[in-house]
Amino acid sequence: MAIFDTILVPLDGSPLAETAVPYAAALARATGAQIVLLRVIEEMRPLYDVRRREVVWVDPAHPRQDLMSPEVLAPVAERLAADGLTVQSVVRLGDPRREILTEAGRYPAPIIVISSHGRGGLGRVVLGSVANRVLQMASCPVLVIRPRGAEAAPATVAFARIAVPVDGSALAEQALPIAVELARATGATLHLVRVAETFRDELPDESELSFRTPSFQAILEWFDQLEAEARTYLQETATRLQEQGLDVTWEVRSGNPWDQILAFSTEARPDLIVMTTHGRGGLARWFYGSVADKLLTQSAVPLLLIRAREQ
């Protein structure tokens, strides 16, 4: 099965929403997936369909229409089709948050590619509106693009370096299969990042340090051990992937995972970060108020989030 069969791109008519389109096009070129452009309208209205050459009503009796309408989706669809990509344009009536998820559920192996903005601004979406609801509820992967402004949006996108933050857990490694297949499809270098959590305020128990009253030197040795474990893990994982013919690099950072992964995204500027919405502490730690949340709100690097499944 292909990585993705369908790439769903919600659009609202704004230039910022369309900054997601080049990323969808890059995925489509790499995977052969079809692109479905989705416009959700919140009140019934007539639209002119250029293929049918007639006015079509989107109303409660016909809440979903496959339309090529100059007013909403035709210009974007025509540009993508001119590049040889397979494109479908869908107009739905209803609540955008619900309709995006419903539309994604219609297709096998979907991915949602969405710009982290809205007419109400970045904060509205990331912190409590359409993209937030999609990220909370989608069972499929979601690629979030955080534009700095429509004028800065690239016309074309290439994935040359794909980063995967991991923490040594099986749940975090669930991001690797998709990252690996994307790296194969695009020829990208896969870069693994693990943070040795040497920022902790709490001390390990006696079984970890083997003494009753920790000394400063013992704590430093414990931190060294954490970094050594991270290096061993990444080296073994990278070697396994390199044996599959992939170009893989890796690095260990030390400190607070939230700050270090954000710093990595700012300094290294990979073309894509792929990670699961989880952590050793569960979904809440990595996603709400944690690593992915910080990347969503503060990093300019596109973020592909994959919902981890308990094993």
What is the per-residue pLDDT across 16-47, written as a single tens digit (0 to 9) for each?
Answer: 889 999 999 999 999 999 999 999 998 999 99
Residues 179 and 241: their CA atoms lie apart, in Å, by: 11
Q: What is the mean pLDDT of the chain?
A: 85
The closest alpha carbon to 130, from 3, 227, 244, 8, belongs to 8
Tell me the pTM. Answer: 0.87
Residues 209 and 290: their CA atoms lie apart, in Å, by: 28
**pLDDT tier at 208, thresholds 50, 70, 90:** low
Look at 286 and 242; give whichever has higher pLDDT. 242
The closest alpha carbon to 176, from 196, 198, 191, belongs to 191
Neighbours of 71 (CB within 10 A): 14
Residue 201 has pLDDT above 70, yes or no: no
SS3 287: coil
Mean pLDDT, to the nearest integer, of 119-130? 44
Residue 305 has pLDDT above 70, yes or no: yes
* pLDDT, tens digit (0-9, with 9 covering 90-100), for 62-76: 999 999 888 889 999
19: left (phi over 0), alpha (psi -120 to 50) or beta: alpha
**Cα dihedral sign, 158-15-94-297:** positive
For residue 145, give both structure tokens.
Answer: 């693009």
pLDDT in the model for residue 298: 86
Look at 147 and 49; give whichever has higher pLDDT. 49
**pLDDT tier at 309, thresholds 50, 70, 90:** confident
Where do we find the tokens 């013919």? 245
Mean pLDDT, to the nearest integer, of 248-269? 94
Domains of the chain with CATH codes: 6-152 (3.40.50.620), 161-301 (3.40.50.620)
How far is CA 194 from each of CA 86, 139, 225, rounded to the nearest angstrom? 38, 25, 14
**pLDDT tier at 118, thresholds 50, 70, 90:** very low
Residues 302 and 93: their CA atoms lie apart, in Å, by: 29
% the chain with pLDDT above 90: 57
Residue 285 has pLDDT above 50, yes or no: no
Helix (H) or strand (E) holding 99: helix 96-104
Residue 284 has pLDDT above 50, yes or no: no
- Which ranges constitute the DSSP H helices of 189-288? 206-209, 216-242, 257-268, 283-286
Mean pLDDT, to the nearest integer, of 275-294? 60
Q: What is the dihedral of CA 285, 290, 295, 297, to 10 degrees?
A: 120
**Cα dihedral sign, 98-99-100-106:** positive
% the chain with pLDDT above 70: 84
**With b meaning 16 or more CB within 10 Å and e meaning fewer, what string describes 5-35?**
ebbbbbbbeeebbbbbbbbbbbbbbbbebbb
pLDDT in the model for residue 127: 32
Residue 50 has what DSSP assignment? T
